[in-house]
């Protein structure tokens, strides 16, 4: 199963009011494990950066001036995402911006159902508790000390760790793992076996049932499985 953990940085809160995406960061997961493949792109928003947004992510006009505009990176972004589930914290925000940019550039829009919202998962799992990315890092003991300012790639890498904790830890499918010695299984781990009971359980078979079974076996002849000594 392929998933893309994704984050964006923008010039503000509303694409309908002229705000644009200035950075996209995404991390690929395969069967809930990072593959090392990432997508990262700074984008020229073709407008000036508001002071409030600059305080959040530190991406200014001079830095973004020579970066490509969204329409020139849209296809590469779509190719990376494909039809994989996008894991996003507060998905409605990022999807709103991504589809606004894709629409302006005349590319296909991303279906909202393709996004999985970790904010919603966190609020359901920990009702009434803070559910920001920083708060979840504190809850799960994830190091986010490098996060002095928001950055799309760094935040997507941190979110990938948070997501794996939200769905049950770094090996969420462990209890469902095959024991047939397949790929990825730790074959050096000892096989668990139940220890014998200190006191054997008493038989629940009555004498009548035992006699009836013996009569049945006798009728099968000497080749009956129950008469085998090997």
Q: Which residues form the catalytic set?
A: 150
At 88 the three-state DSSP class reads strand
Rounded distance between C-alpha atoms, residue 162 and residue 30, angstroms: 16
Strand-strand pairing, 33-42 and 85-88: unpaired
């Amino acid at each position: 199963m392929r998933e893309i953990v994704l984050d964006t940085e923008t010039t503000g809160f509303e694409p309908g009011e002229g705000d644009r995406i200035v950075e996209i960061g995404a991390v690929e997961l395969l069967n809930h494990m990072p593959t090392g493949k990432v997508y990262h792109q700074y984008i020229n928003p073709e407008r000036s950066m508001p002071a409030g947004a600059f305080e959040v992510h530190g991406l200014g006009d001079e830095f973004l001036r020579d970066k490509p505009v969204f329409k020139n990176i849209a296809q590469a972004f779509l190719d990376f995402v494909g039809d994989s589930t996008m894991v996003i914290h507060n998905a409605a925000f990022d999807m709103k911006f991504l589809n606004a940019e894709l629409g302006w550039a005349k590319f296909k829009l991303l279906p909202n159902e393709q996004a999985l919202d970790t904010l919603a998962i966190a609020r359901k799992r920990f009702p009434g508790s803070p559910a920001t990315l920083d708060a979840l890092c504190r809850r799960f003991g994830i190091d986010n000390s490098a996060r002095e300012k928001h950055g799309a790639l760094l935040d997507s890498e941190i979110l990938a760790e948070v997501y794996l904790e939200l769905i049950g830890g770094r090996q969420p499918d462990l209890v469902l793992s095959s024991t047939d010695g397949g790929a990825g299984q730790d074959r050096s781990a000892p096989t668990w076996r139940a220890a014998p009971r200190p006191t054997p359980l008493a038989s629940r078979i009555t004498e009548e049932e035992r006699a009836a079974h013996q009569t049945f076996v006798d009728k099968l002849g000497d080749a009956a499985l129950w008469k085998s000594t090997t």
